[in-house]
Amino acid sequence: MAKNPCIFLPYALLLSSSLLQGILAVQYRVTNNAPNAPGGMRFDNEIGIPFTLQTMGTINKFIWKLFQQPSDSQRKYVPILNVYISDFNDAFGYTNGDNINISAIGLQSFPPGRPKFEFTSLMYHEMTHIFQWSGQGTAPGGLTEGIADYVMIKSTYYDPEGYTKPGEGGRDEA
């Protein structure tokens, strides 16, 4: 008598689903390309790679929860997320592909006693850009920046003094 293959199908699906979860997990990598610059040294001494890796996992889960993306099929596929601490001066941070570039010069300018808070705030913003859908880069910059700021504000890792108060804003014409 032949065995019914349909009996084993749910088990096979469950096994493949659990294997897929492991395959689709995001790997986090952090590289300090400016270890001898003042901001690179501050990163190593006051923030560090272990803190950054832990924070990346926490932020990643927060973003998926806020975006209401409980399953891999709803999420943007990001196999490896790299953070690079580098010596540049035109921004505190920016993304390109699945990479976050953090300015060592910007890190040096963080207020005393607050580098982890300021760094975490920046990471919430930049990691949102990595995990948000942007219409393959066609979404308006104001929209994607607004969403990244929204996530940062919802995280409570932001300085309210740095933002326009209700009724004080205006509209920039592009």
Question: How many CB atoms neighbour CB 118 within 10 A?
Answer: 19
What does the pLDDT read at residue 49?
98
Q: How far apart are CA 130 and CA 77, in angstroms?
A: 10
Q: Which percentage of the chain shows pLDDT scores above 70? A: 84
- State if pTM tops 0.85: no
Q: What φ, ψ does residue 10 adopt, rounded to 5°?
A: -60, -35
User: Three-state DSSP class for 133?
Assistant: coil
Both tokens of residue 34? 């400016």
Nearest to 123 by CA among 83, 162, 70: 83
Which residues touch 89 (CB under 8 Å, ≥6 apart)?
103, 105
**60: nearest Cα among 23, 98, 94:** 98
Please provide the DSSP assignment of 77-133 as one string. P-SEEEEEEE---S-SEEEETTEEEEEHHHHHTSPTT-HHHHHHHHHHHHHHHHHS-
Q: What is the mean pLDDT of the chain?
A: 87
pLDDT at 98: 96
What pLDDT, on the 0 to 100 scale, is given for residue 126? 98
What is the biggest distance separating any 2 CA atoms in the chain, rounded to whole angstroms?
79
For the 25-158 domain, the top CATH level (class) is: mainly alpha
pLDDT tens for each residue of 52-109: 999 999 999 999 999 999 999 999 999 999 999 999 988 999 999 999 999 999 999 9
C-alpha pair distances (Å), 133 with each of 76, 102, 138, 159: 7, 21, 10, 26
pLDDT at res. 174:
52
pLDDT at 21 over 50: no
8 A C-beta contact, residue 83 and residue 102: yes
Sketch the domain layout of the chain as residue ranges. Answer: 25-158
**pLDDT exceeds 50 at position 127:** yes
High-pLDDT (> 90) share of the chain, % = 73
